[in-house]
Amino acid sequence: MGELTHIEEALKQAIKSPDLLATIKVKTAWKRALGEAAAENAQPIRVNKGVLTVRAKDSVWANQLAMMKDEMRRKLLDAASVDIEDIRFFSGPSDARAEGARERTKNP
């Protein structure tokens, strides 16, 4: 754990934006904090002024995670030491899937 503390301090010095640092910490801890199923079906996008934006693969996952919002906030605080005030969810394809769809549209 001592090595992680050193890395965190180095990141704090290198990254002046608290939101960017929080985003990195949440993305790093996401799977460990929330488990395999959540990691496969939803991704943290960014933290902005204490609000975490999460992309879910579909509306079912977005709704399921929204019902678990308080539990997710606690788990992320424990795993990433990031105090999230709120979590906002939206559904849609990941960037890679969206890019693939754009390519298929251009080159059928």
* Residue pLDDT, tens place only, 73-92: 999 999 999 999 999 999 99
Examine residue 1 and state whether it is found in any structural domain, yes or no.
Answer: no
Axis crossing angle, helix 2-14 with helix 18-34, rounded to the nearest 10 = 150
Give the per-residue pLDDT at 80.
95
Asked whether residue 101 carries a pLDDT value surpassing 80, the answer given is no
Give the per-residue pLDDT at 4.
61
CATH code at 68? 3.30.300.180
Number of folded domains that form the chain: 1
Burial of 20 (C-beta count, 10 Å sphere; 0-12/13-18/19+): middle
Give the per-residue pLDDT at 99.
44
pLDDT tens per residue, range 22-64? 999 999 999 999 999 999 999 999 999 999 999 999 999 999 9
Give the total residue count for the chain: 108
Examine residue 87 and state whether it is found in any structural domain, yes or no.
Answer: yes
pTM, two decimals, is 0.74
Examine residue 101 and state whether it is found in any structural domain, yes or no.
Answer: yes
